[in-house]
Amino acid sequence: MRFRALLYLAATLFFYPLSARADLIGDNIHVYENNPMQATTKDLGSIFAPGSGSNALLGFVTYEVTGDQISLLFNVPKSFYLESRSFTFVDTSKDPWMDLVSMDAQSTPLFGQDGSVNQPRPPIITFDTSSVTFTFGDVVIPPGSKEIFDLDFRDPVSATPEPASLLLVGSAVLGVLGMGRRRFFAR
C-alpha cells in the first residue's frame, strides 16, 4: 500500500513540470489607455483571458487577449489619423513571465500621415515580465486594421534543469525503496 502511494507521488512530481504551460489563459488582464498629448491615463477595466473587450472611450478599438496573443482591431469606416496613443496590458496574476513580444506577420502595416508606403511605422513595443505596452504615434489607421502581437513566455516553475530534477527524484525513489526492502527483509 505504501509503495503505491510513493509511486503516485513520484509520478506526480515527474509529470507536473511537463504539464505546466506558461500563457495568459485564466489570468486577469487589466487594460489601460494612455494619451500623452492630453497627459491622461484611462482605466479600461479587466478581462479574463481568453477574452475580449472594447474601448468605449475611443469608440473604435476592440482588443482580444488569447493565451499567447494580443490583438487590437481598429473599427474605423475610413482612414483615421492617430496622433499618439498607447495601450498597456497588465497581467495581475504575475505567474507567466513574458520573455519576448513581437508583431505577427498578419498585422496590417501602418504608415505615417503622408501615406508613404516606403516609411512604415510599426508600434513601439515595451514590456516587462507581467505587462506590455503598445505605443502608436503619428500613424494613419486604415479601415479594418488589425494589429496582432505574439507573446512568448518562460516558465518560472521549472527553474531546476530537467535532468537534475529527474536524477533527484529518481535517487529519492530508489532510497525509499531501499529502506522499505531493508525493513521487509529484516523481519
pLDDT tens track for 124-167: 899 888 889 999 888 888 888 899 999 887 765 555 556 767 77
- Check residues 64 and 117 and name the one with the higher pLDDT: 64
Q: What's the rounded Cα separation, in Å, for the pair 4 and 16?
A: 18
Cell 474605423, located at residue: 76
**Closest C-alpha to 82, from 148, 124, 142, 125:** 142
| Contact between 122 and 112 (Cβ < 8 Å) | no
Percent of residues, the chain, with pLDDT higher than 70? 70
Q: Angle CA(142)–CA(75)–CA(84) in degrees, nearest 5?
A: 65
- Average pLDDT on 52-58 reads 58
What CATH architecture applies to the domain 28-154?
A: Sandwich (2.60)
At 117 the pLDDT is 59
Residue 84 has pLDDT above 50, yes or no: yes
Joined together, the cell numbers standing for residue 143 give: 479601415
Instruction: Identify the sign of the CA torsion 52, 54, 55, 61.
Output: positive
- pTM above threshold 0.85: no
